Amino acid sequence: MVNHTPFIVGAYIVALVGFGGLAIASLVARRRIRRELSARGLERR
Amino acid sequence: MASLHVLANPARFRRFSQRVLPALSVATALALAVGLWLALVESPPDYQQGETVRIMFLHVPSAWLSMMGYALLAALGASLLVWRHPLAALMARAAAPVGAVFAAVCLLTGALWGRPMWGTYWVWDARLTSMLLLFFLYLGHIALSRAYDDSERGDRAAAILALVGVINLPVIKFSVDWWNTLHQPASVMKLGGPSIDPSILTPLLVMALALLLLFVVLVLLRTETEIDRRRLEAAEMAL
């Protein structure tokens, strides 16, 4: 009997890394751009 | 349709996005929590796939959303080339990496399901190969849109690729009907309704809703960033 747990856990880790990584990268990029805009006095609410 | 044209103004879109993003983010977190609970705890093992059916709750929605994302890219491409909507190029730049990640998750989770079920991570069958092509089309779109110093030229080239590549979407959808594939035929989006037991269908649909919300949140967030980035570039050029 093959143990399927590593494949199931692996799939959820792939999703966590993919979606979580993209969400973090998106937030970091937004923060960086806003900081640069702010440094030039161009921030917009 | 008129309201969509109104939102094509980047500043107006940004204000709209800032209003809806907090509520959408909360809804995404709630839907993900419920979806994961149903997928990992409540749903029973499948009578054929056993526990590996839990991989389907990620794999299938990722496949749907990567195809939906490419259809969005094609619509934005047409909008850019035909109406020259300024927001279309920015949203396409924002959406392409999101679609690429959904396609990658679909391919990788499919491979992790295939190994215990089919005895192999990968076969060159029509469904898997056309899905891999979709992932490469996303990468091509990202590369092309950033390949020119003049960002407008890059956006137009990427828009043309998005429109040409949209032919791959019906190939992915109908590949399991047109060719003899190892991949199983459609069991949710098909004539006559879904052929899945409600105990499996419910978590699948809740996870699909959660990932759809995540897709929308990520695209809105990244579009806001692209609008700000274009503003910053314009300010730097003016100096």
Cβ–Cβ of A11/B108 closer than 8 Å? yes
Angstroms from A30 CA to nearest CA on chain B: 5
| Local structure of residue B169 (DSSP, 8 states) | H
Could you tell me the two tokens for B80?
């850019």
- CB-closest option in A8, A29, A36 to B55: A8
Cβ–Cβ of A30/B62 closer than 8 Å? no
pLDDT in tens, chain B (239 residues): 555 566 678 888 888 999 999 999 999 999 999 999 999 999 998 888 889 999 999 999 999 999 999 999 999 999 999 998 889 999 999 999 999 999 999 999 999 999 999 999 999 999 999 999 999 999 999 999 999 988 899 999 999 999 999 999 999 999 888 888 888 777 777 667 777 888 899 999 999 999 999 999 999 999 999 999 988 888 877 76
Cβ–Cβ of B228/A37 closer than 8 Å? yes
Model ipTM value: 0.92
The residue of chain A nearest to residue B121, with distances taken between CA atoms, is: A7
Angstroms from B37 CA to nearest CA on chain A: 13
- CB-closest option in A4, A23, A27 to B116: A4
Q: Which residues of B touch A2 (CB under 8 A)?
A: 116
- pLDDT score of B7: 65
Could you tell me the two tokens for A31?
């923060």
Cβ–Cβ of A8/B54 closer than 8 Å? yes
pTM (two decimals):
0.93
- Map tokens 């094509």 to a residue: B8
| Closest listed residue to residue B89, CA positions, set B77, B72, B74, B107 | B77
Residues 6+ apart with CB under 8 A from B97: A22, B138, B142, B222
> In 3-state terms, what secondary structure has residue B65?
helix
Q: Which residues of B touch A27 (CB under 8 A)?
A: 221
Q: Which residues of B touch A23 (CB under 8 A)?
A: 214, 218
What is the SS3 string spanning chain A?
CCCCHHHHHHHHHHHHHHHHHHHHHHHHHHHHHHHHHHHCCCCCC
Query: Could you give the angle at which helices B198-238 and B53-83 cross, rounded to 10 degrees?
Result: 40
| Local structure of residue B44 (DSSP, 8 states) | P
Q: How many CB atoms lie within 10 A of CB B46?
A: 16
Q: How many CB atoms lie within 10 A of CB B26?
A: 12
Question: What is the tens place of the pLDDT at every residue in A16-31?
Answer: 999 999 999 999 999 9
Task: Assess contact for B137 and B159: CB atoms under 8 A.
Answer: no
